[in-house]
Amino acid sequence: MIATSELAKAAKQAFEYVKAQPDIQECEVFAAADGALLTRVNYTSHIPCNGVEEPKSTESYGIGIQAAVKTPDGITIGFGSEPSDLTLEGAKRALGKARQGAVRDPEFHSLPRPTGEPRTLADYHDPKLLHVQDEGLVEAGWKVVTGALRTFMASSRLAELAGSEAAMKRLGLILGGDVTMLQERVAIVSTHMPTVQVDESTLIMGFLTAMVEARNAKGSGWSTGTRLDHFTDEAGVDAATNAIQAIGGERVRSGDYTVIFGKQPVTDILNNLVLPACTASSFYSSSTPFVGKLGKPVASPLLTIYDHGAMPGFMGSKGITCEGLPTGRTDLIRNGVLVGCLTNWYEAQRLLRDARITEKLGVEAAAARSALLPRNGFRFGAGGGRQFDMPPGIAASNVVVEGAESSSLDELIAKVRNGLYVGRIWYTYPINGLRAGDFTCTVVGDSFIIKDGRLAAPIKANAIRINDNFIRLLAHIVGITKDVKGTLVWAADEVVYAPEVAVTGVHLDEIAGFMEDLT
């Protein structure tokens, strides 16, 4: 992998060249090297399999240049990149593409400028994760597989159901998922921040799903971390344990229920609904249900949500954004009131100058300024990594959900008394568009019926669909637990440090009755 010092040297050399060009008004050079190592797991006791299905990796490095170009028709802004070439020749090719693609954008005012906030996170990566060898990649996958297999083998419940150890495989034991390691190195320098800044980040995550398929029982396990030494078989063990606990799932009738959403559903709802609604570009395009509501209540006073990209030890942390600005804490919803947006420099600048800002945000520019600090300009892509070949977009980093009156999960279950604990949902989409707030999803595992203040029985997987509205959900929160865990959902950029959240009146519909009679 390309050394950070090489990226820094290349960025500086490119910057000196580009800024010296007479037609360049301002410019930004972003050099990056990314490695994504991923071991995909597929174990099935009843179908021939490889166990570790795909030990694989992708690598890329290169240089990206944003340039504001002086032309007879005014200033144009363009972006160009060149892969696998950190020499001056590569920088010239990237600049040539930026010039060629430059357009007159009336909403472009400048490239990012310092915000006055200091950088607080440096030297936080794990050097071991930057040097994982082929064998280490494969071993990480088998570590979670063997964790799950040991758990299955040790289960007296499974042995009893199967009748013998030899027959256990006929229960249809499944383990799927992956172990992913990301290695990210970046260097950035620009007209308004002319000292080269560098950042190195590493992370490792495991995301596993286990099933006892003959009993339609599914369980999840996951782990997130920044250090290789901390990676264990926890995710495989948890997934298998939770699948075994889900045996004997019952159907639930259609109706309105008080539901405790577990950490994964909270993360899924944030990833697909709440965070997109809190993103500056959604306000700009009038496509968020929070249009005109900055500074106004949008949720129960119990709820606080913030993004914090500089939290030491958290998996999504970075020292700087992909715009060279410090990461930090951005409050989105504080005690139920919308107080901030996720944004990058460009979106913040154009919203603050938008003639319709009062209609879009609900306040004038002066009042909106503190809510639009560009701490989330990232160039995430290709399944993770900070990509040199794209201009910055907007992405969350570590999202933390907190309650005003936090309780333990047992206390929350006791408080709900009768209802449902929903531990994993799937395909959570704003079915009528984000602004309408209507959403739907199905309950796919890790879920239980709450009766008389305790978990009484598992809920059958894939037997209920939630049909509701997330604005209504946010307003009807009645409890939030205090313990959070870094939680992932498929294809998300951010990690949500999620608690469990209880909501009243959640509408469910019973589905897929025909599966009971399928032969």
Partner 1 sequence: MARKITTDLVDSIKEMVHHLATTHARSFAHLTYADLRIEVAEGKAAAAENGSSKFSTEDYGFAFGVRVLAGERMIAPGYFGRSLGAADLDQLEKLLKEGLEKAYRRAMANGELKATVREKFGSLGDSLMDARLHPIQVRQEVVPAECEIDPRTMVLGEMVRYTTDVSKQVGGVHAHLKYNFISTMTQLSRELFASSEGALIDQAFALTQGLCYVVAVAGETSQELYDVLGHQRGWEILERGVDEPFIKFPPFTEFARVLAGEAVELAAAPALPSTDREVAVVTDPHYNTLVSHEIIGHPVELDRVLKMETAYAGRSWLLRTLDEHQVGKPVASPLVTAYSDPSLPGYGHYKYDHEGTPARRVVHIEKGIFKGFMNSRQTAAIFGGDPNGHWKATDASLVPLIRMSNTVFAQGEGHARDIIAEVDHGYYLVGHRIPSIAESRENFRISARKVYEIRNGQLDQLYRDGGIMADTKDYLMKVDAVGSDFRLYPIPNCGKGQPMQTKKLGNGGPTMRSRARLTGAVVGRME
**Contacts to partner 1 from residues 362-401, by CB under 8 A:** 382-384, 391
322 interacts with partner 1 by CB under 8 A: no
Cα–Cα distance for residue pair 281/426, rounded to 1 Å: 25
| 476 token code pair | 């009807």
The residues with which 425 forms a beta bridge, in sequence order, are 443
* Size, binding site for partner 1 by CB under 8 A: 118
CB of 450 to partner 1, least distance (A): 21
**What are the residues whose beta carbons fall under 8 Å from the beta carbon of 324, sequence distance 6 or more?**
28, 112, 188, 189, 190, 193, 197
Cα–Cα distance for residue pair 60/64, rounded to 1 Å: 13
CB of 116 to partner 1, least distance (A): 28
514 interacts with partner 1 by CB under 8 A: yes
CB of 125 to partner 1, least distance (A): 20
237 interacts with partner 1 by CB under 8 A: no
97 interacts with partner 1 by CB under 8 A: yes
For partner 1, the binding residue among 226, 397, 428, 481 (CB under 8 A) is 428
105 interacts with partner 1 by CB under 8 A: yes
How many residues belong to the chain? 519
Quick check: 184 and 31 in contact, CB under 8 A?
no
With contacts defined by CB under 8 A, name the span among 13-21, 35-43, 295-303, 364-372 that binds partner 1. 35-43
197 interacts with partner 1 by CB under 8 A: no
Cα–Cα distance for residue pair 51/55, rounded to 1 Å: 11
In Å, the largest CA–CA distance within the chain is 83
CB of 55 to partner 1, least distance (A): 4
CB of 485 to partner 1, least distance (A): 18
| 364 token code pair | 């004038």
Q: Which is nearer to partner 1, 26 or 468 (CB)?
A: 468
Cα–Cα distance for residue pair 519/515, rounded to 1 Å: 9
CB of 177 to partner 1, least distance (A): 4
Cα–Cα distance for residue pair 369/166, rounded to 1 Å: 66
Q: Which is nearer to partner 1, 197 or 271 (CB)?
A: 271
- In single-letter form, the type of residue at position 106 comes to P
Cα–Cα distance for residue pair 204/184, rounded to 1 Å: 12
Binding to partner 1 (CB under 8 A) within 446-475 occurs at 461-462, 465, 467-469, 471-472
Cα–Cα distance for residue pair 423/403, rounded to 1 Å: 19
CB of 461 to partner 1, least distance (A): 7
137 interacts with partner 1 by CB under 8 A: yes
434 interacts with partner 1 by CB under 8 A: yes
CB of 486 to partner 1, least distance (A): 17
- In single-letter form, the type of residue at position 439 comes to F
Closest CA to 284 of 387, 381, 394, 396: 394
For partner 1, the binding residue among 16, 117, 411, 509 (CB under 8 A) is 509
Helix or strand (DSSP H, E) at 367: helix 365-368
Q: What is the DSSP letter of 300?
A: -
- Per-residue contact track with partner 1, 274 to 313, x per CB under 8 A? ----------xxxx--------------------------
For partner 1, the binding residue among 27, 29, 31, 45 (CB under 8 A) is 45
Helix or strand (DSSP H, E) at 334: strand 329-334
For partner 1, the binding residue among 112, 147, 177, 336 (CB under 8 A) is 177
444 interacts with partner 1 by CB under 8 A: yes
Q: Which is nearer to partner 1, 13 or 197 (CB)?
A: 13
Quick check: 87 and 298 in contact, CB under 8 A?
no
Q: Which is nearer to partner 1, 286 or 370 (CB)?
A: 286
139 interacts with partner 1 by CB under 8 A: yes
CB of 126 to partner 1, least distance (A): 21
Closest CA to 64 of 385, 386, 318, 321: 386
Quick check: 47 and 63 in contact, CB under 8 A?
no
For partner 1, the binding residue among 3, 5, 23, 46 (CB under 8 A) is 46
Cα–Cα distance for residue pair 364/356, rounded to 1 Å: 9
48 interacts with partner 1 by CB under 8 A: yes
